[in-house]
Amino acid sequence: MKAIVVFESVYGNTRAIAEAIAEGLGGAEVKAVADAAAHPEPSDLLVVGGPTHMHGLATTRSRQMAITAAEEDGHTHIEPGAGDEPGLRSWLRDLGHVDHARAAAFDTRLDKAPWITGVAARGIGRRLHHHGYDVINSESFLVEDSEGPLVEGELERARAWGNKLAALCSEANVR
């Protein structure tokens, strides 16, 4: 099974989760969204994720606000290419239509109730479905604060989720 994990990350938390999911999938390819846009590839499973900003998917403005805040702080790591375009929202808008390819959606968000934080994975899943993908699962991974770090155990949970996605795809191939 060929799986690709596409992510958007400002502080590195979502990238770390994407890499852990890829490990759980058995070594899937991991691509930042700008790289995925420049070099699209077909896959058996497309896993897409990003941070939750202002109750949903990041926008160009919300990413820039996060970068500016981190630069002013001076202590927060900013991912290389964090402000590059396309962002996940526009990449998903321009994604081509497929016929029933499999996909999964994930996000990173604050460790609070979803009705307080929002859940970017919902918007990612809706957009993938709109382009013809069968969204087989979605998941949120938690950070302690806006800039991170990840809540303890989230990388292990992401690896386990990647393994679950691989199993779901294997079951579907047997049927």
Q: What is the mean pLDDT of each run of 10 residues along the chain (175 residues)?
A: 95 97 97 86 92 92 91 87 92 91 97 94 97 96 94 98 94 61
pLDDT at site 174: 46
For residues 16 and 149, the answer to whether their CB atoms sit within 8 Å is no
pLDDT at site 173: 67
Tokens standing for 32?
């930042």
For the chain, domain boundaries = 3-174
User: Which residue is it, tokens 């386990």?
Assistant: 160
Is the domain defined by 3-174 classed in CATH 3.60.15.10?
no
pLDDT at site 48: 98
For residues 112 and 78, the answer to whether their CB atoms sit within 8 Å is no
